[in-house]
Amino acid sequence: MTIPDSPVGTGISITIIALGAYLVGAIPFGYLIGRMKGLDIRKHGSGNIGATNVTRVVGKGWGRLCFFLDFLKGAIPVIVASMLAERESSQFVVEHLPAWLKMEPCLRGGEILACVAALAAVCGHIWPVYLNFKGGKGISTAAGAILALNPLALLSAGVVWVAVFFTSRYVSLASIAAAVSIAVFCVVYKFAGLSNANVPETILLFLLAALAVTKHASNIKRLREGTENKFERKKKIAPLSMAALQDSSAIHAAVLGDGAWGTALALTLHANGHKVKVWGAFQENIDAVNRDHENKKFLAGVPIPEGLEYTADLEYAVKDARLVVLATPSQYLRGILQQFKPYLNADTQIIVDIVKGIELSSLLPMSELCRQELGPTHYVALSGPSHAEEVARRIPTLVVTACEDRDIAEYVQRIFMNEFFRVYTSYDVVGVELGGALKNIYAIAAGIVDGAGMGDNSKAALMTRAIAEMSRLGKRLGGKKETFSGLSGVGDLIVTCTSRHSRNRYVGEELGKGRKLDEIIRSMNMVVAEGVKTCEAAYALSERWGVDTPLIHGIYAVLHDGRDPREVVRELMTRKAKNEEE
């Protein structure tokens, strides 16, 4: 075909160049590399398909390859477009095209063809048609495109990236700074006579800078909150010796958190003959427990035996501890970890996390939060159907410990297990954690059913569909589907949705009776219902990953949008009919 050298021809040429550049830019190399390694990169790390996440999840070599390929898919469309915009170069290109693609060089659009190709390639990476328009942030692809357009500005921005990264160790901050500086360098070099950048090129660089800032909005929020991931060299910890793991003698243990669940497990460890110290943040409660030998504020009616020590001195609590149990509310855990880190001995101490939640600001499960703040540790998650009020009174209870290291999982199993507290092991840390966190949301819904007087049929339906929804979201976030049929999934769901001890069910029940959420929370006197914040986090995660979670969305509407529970139930009941397996 022949495309005329006219405004219409210019438009056609620009369209063809833009489409071709977009399709090249949309090639998801990070996703393809993950598939080569047998995983979906979108389900690991940050969930991004860019080089940074590939490096974190798959390794440095694959990360470098991903960066190089993403870089090329930005540079190649710009180079081809530039050649087509020049008479001599384009004649050579046209001669080697198939007959149906041949066209006259379009000089009228030459000034902007390369810029259009650059923008289209970056948009392809960010919104790839091959992955339902959910891609990366486009930094590597933009770098390739800009190198082909204005190498001097890119090299200067590269210096900025290196300086910011090695100063802060934040890839996101370095990328934002470099993207903004490119546009600035372009203007400065233009006025200094060091560059002949044209107006479309300058506009493009400012557009790319704005796009980079926009795509990093969540990173900027985390940077401001201090929860952004730093890119640091992976530290290695010494493996625990088999002799230590097979030792059945009494140990020193520290429980960080003087709430009901922390106290119940401290009592369990003490009953097993271990030396236990419980740390609490509020000196007045610590003094009261040591004086009255009862934790009246969080676990009234249960005597605290002699030898089980409460302290507000964190360093003293964890000194010589083989086992450190994390037992604080999930939204406060990061701050506690930051206080604990100076006293951590990662080579010898085992971290047992009993916190059931997802951090709202970062959307991280507790294992990732611990890894971010403490680095690599011997980490174990403990969860299951276990109300503190019953564990503390030695009522038979079953839980599960999850650890990637089988020997450590079995060691912690032996440390906790006795005639009233039976412990199983698992190696699905993510699944066990998410089961314990997500069930709190559905317990609020169960309470709404009770408070509104809807009956047994309604609660049975809710719990059954909750199992399906929890498994669906949990699997998408990296857990194993079968884990949600176990103690930390179905087991914890049943007990939390039906028990009079459940704080989350209580919140829901009061909502069902017509009370307002703020009023309910104030009346609980610092006792935390994890499901309220976890619902916000799960709602955000389901939106991010495109998982159908009608129950979570409905509970979110009641908790955070102030919707009437009965109205939400009616909407859930009248949704489009579906197959039960969907």
Judged on CB neighbours under 10 Å (0-12, 13-18, 19+), 576 is exposed
Residues 255 and 118 in one domain: no
Distance from the first to the final alpha carbon of the chain: 49
Instruction: Tell me the pLDDT tens digit for each residue of 189-209.
Output: 888 888 777 788 888 888 888
Residues 350 and 451 in one domain: no
- Structural domains counted in the chain: 3
Name 254's Cβ contacts closer than 8 Å, sequence gap at least 6.
276, 277, 278, 279, 317, 318, 321, 323, 324, 325
With respect to residue 308, please indicate whether it lies within any of the assigned structural domains: yes
Residue 80, pLDDT score: 85
Residue 6, pLDDT above cutoff 70: no
Residues spanned by the domain of 182: 7-224
With respect to residue 192, please indicate whether it lies within any of the assigned structural domains: yes
Assign 321 a pLDDT band (cuts: 50, 70, 90).
Answer: very high
The residue among 209, 224, 239 that closes a domain is: 224
Residues 401 and 437 in one domain: no
Q: Which residue has the higher pLDDT, 436 or 106?
A: 436
Q: 511 with 534: CB under 8 angstroms?
A: no
Q: Which positions are annotated as active-site residues?
A: 439
Residues 393 and 488 in one domain: no
Residues 214 and 319 in one domain: no
Beta bridge partners of residue 277, listed in sequence order: 254, 309
Q: Provide the 8-state DSSP code for 365.
A: B
With respect to residue 230, please indicate whether it lies within any of the assigned structural domains: no
Cα separation, 59 vs 373, whole angstroms = 21
Residues 34 and 160 in one domain: yes
CATH of the domain at 314: 3.40.50.720
Cα separation, 346 vs 352, whole angstroms = 13
* Rg of the chain (C-alpha set): 29
Residues 138 and 37 in one domain: yes
Residue 300, pLDDT above cutoff 90: yes
Instruction: Tell me the pLDDT tens digit for each residue of 322-378.
Output: 999 999 999 999 999 999 999 999 989 999 999 999 998 888 999 999 998 998 999
Instruction: Tell me the pLDDT tens digit for each residue of 39-81.
Output: 788 877 677 888 888 887 788 889 899 999 999 999 999 888 8
Closest by Cα among 405, 396, 329, 401 to 369: 329
- DSSP-derived secondary structure for 34-66: HHHTTS-GGGSTT---SHHHHHHHT-HHHHHHH
Residues 412 and 438 in one domain: no
Instruction: Tell me the pLDDT tens digit for each residue of 461-490.
Output: 999 999 999 999 999 898 999 999 999 999
Summarize the confidence of residues 78-87 as an average pLDDT.
Answer: 74
Q: Provide the 8-state DSSP code for 294.
A: B
Assign 234 a pLDDT band (cuts: 50, 70, 90).
Answer: low
Residues 483 and 414 in one domain: no
Cα separation, 98 vs 538, whole angstroms = 52
Instruction: Tell me the pLDDT tens digit for each residue of 265-299.
Output: 999 999 999 999 999 999 999 999 999 999 999 99
